Amino acid sequence: MLLIPAIDLKDGHCVRLQQGDMELATVFSDNPADMARHWLRQGARRLHLVDLNGAFAGKPKNEGAVKAILKAVQEFAVENGVDEIPVQLGGGIRDLDTIERYLDAGISYIIIGTAAVKSPGFLHDACSAFPGHIIVGLDAKDGKVATDGWSKMSGHEVIDLAKKFEAYGVESIIYTDIGRDGMMGGINIEATVKLAQAVKIPVIASGGLHNLGDVEALCAVQAEGIEGVICGRSIYEGTIDLASAQLRADELSDAA
């Protein structure tokens, strides 16, 4: 079970939102690259980046901060003799040229969310052009998928879309319960498991992680196909210690 720190970028800063509301942003760092180094030193094996401005604008807005993070990650990998530390990025990615540019810069996985729902042809083309590098982000409330930075609800069922996108060739699915995101009320284990059981590709849980008990609960069901969890406010506010939580997850994975 991978614990994946989130670095959400707004106006070049590292922030966290409550339920996707740009007006409810807490700034945790003015230097996202330093924050990336911090999580890597704490034992993170993968990083999750979101260009929040890009998600609302429909085009990249924090490219400079993303490149600074990638430079920090690459330097850390060299210093510590690590082959690769994957970095996944979402937010406002709407065309193949942008995907190619980010992959060339060192991003490992591109996350497509709103565009996957609104322009499934684009997602299909992306999976064909960049196999193994495309993750789909499904953000849902009460089983229905939301788009446009969670500001609009679609009529699509999560599991129906997940199966459709699996057939396109997406590498994995990030499933966020937007009713819980940023609220630290606990992961929606039941809905995450239900989704993981419906597809063969890995699912990454997101939204509501609060404490070590949530990590342990996810580890107990990881055999259903849940490979990781996005860590946001919990690690920034200290309700989870990333290093000890990842060690605990490794222990439980080894024992399984």
- pLDDT at position 77: 97
pLDDT digits (tens, 9 = 90+) for 50-75: 999 998 888 999 999 999 999 999 99
What positions carry a catalytic annotation? 8, 139
**Are the CB atoms for 75 and 108 separated by under 8 Å?**
no
Q: What gap in Å lies between CA 29 and CA 101, rounded to an integer?
A: 26
Q: How many CB atoms lie within 10 A of CB 167?
A: 11
Taking the whole predicted model, whether its pTM rises above 0.85 is answered as yes
- pLDDT at position 150: 59
Check pLDDT > 80 for residue 2. Answer: yes
Q: Percent of the chain scored above 70 by pLDDT?
A: 95
